[in-house]
Amino acid sequence: MILVTGASRGIGYATSVSLAKKKERVLALARSSDALEKLQNEHSRRIHIQTCDLMNLASVQLLVDYIREHRIQLTGVVHNAGALINKPFSELTDDDWMHMWNANVMTAVRLVRAVLPFMTKKSHIVTIGSMGGFQGSAKFPGLLAYSTSKGALSTWTECMAKELEKENISVNCLCLGAVQTEMLNLAFPGLKAPLKPDDIAEFISDFVINGHRFMNGKILPVALSNP
């Protein structure tokens, strides 16, 4: 089974559907139970859902209990959940910085720490980063805290690949460019992206299934434009 976070909308939703169409079983996570139920109703035989707030330790423990109770073995993880704040540096508060760190880095830490005992050999963890956090890419005002946290997620991915090497678990990061999502509209209001969630979901779903056959510990830019 492949676990997908942030599955209630956008890229996470589309990736869950794409995986189901590839006949993969999916465990879809999000904070919104209504959106998850809609997702499950579309592909009830392939998609299992669990409401989970990865910024809440008690909620993560409930996820662990669910996985253990249903004897789930994970062959892949797509960690797509995250958040964005668009503010100039002078207006960013300590709470803003901590929220970005918690939403975009610590969620990955908590998730992988929780599900690692249930991952099979040769499984694949894919973190969804951003071109904003890819070294040497174009940077934009207002996205400092977001881009910094995504850059940290990239480094965490590289380190985790080495940490899990003996477990034969691969970890890679896909740094996405502009995709037409609610988060993109928050970052760049009115921008028309060259890709829709369904487009990038096809790439992500194929990558989590097959990408670790060819690479590990890699930070990959996946962008037609930036932004």
**pLDDT for 41-64, tens place per residue?**
887 789 999 999 999 999 999 999
In a domain, 17, yes or no: yes
Question: What's the pLDDT at 1?
Answer: 98
In a domain, 107, yes or no: yes
Contact yes or no for 55/33 (Cβ under 8 A) = no
Number of compact structural domains in the chain: 1
In a domain, 164, yes or no: yes
In a domain, 202, yes or no: yes
In a domain, 227, yes or no: no
**H or E element at residue 148:** helix 144-163
Each residue's pLDDT tens digit, 137-180: 999 999 999 999 999 999 999 999 999 999 999 999 999 999 99
Question: What's the pLDDT at 227?
Answer: 78
How many residues in the chain?
227
Read off the DSSP letter of residue 124: E
Contact yes or no for 191/143 (Cβ under 8 A) = no
Q: Which residue has the tokens 């990558």?
A: 207
Contact yes or no for 75/125 (Cβ under 8 A) = no
Show the domain range for 212.
2-222
Using CB atoms within 10 A of its CB, is residue 93 exposed (0-12), middle (13-18) or buried (19+)?
exposed
3-state SS, residue 170: strand
| Average pLDDT estimate for 93-110 | 98
Residue 172 sits in a domain whose CATH number is 3.40.50.720
Average pLDDT of the chain to the nearest whole number: 96
3-state SS, residue 139: coil
What is the percent of the chain with per-residue pLDDT over 90, rounded to a whole number? 94
d(CA 53, CA 32): 9
Interhelix angle 33-42/10-21, rounded to 10 degrees, is: 20
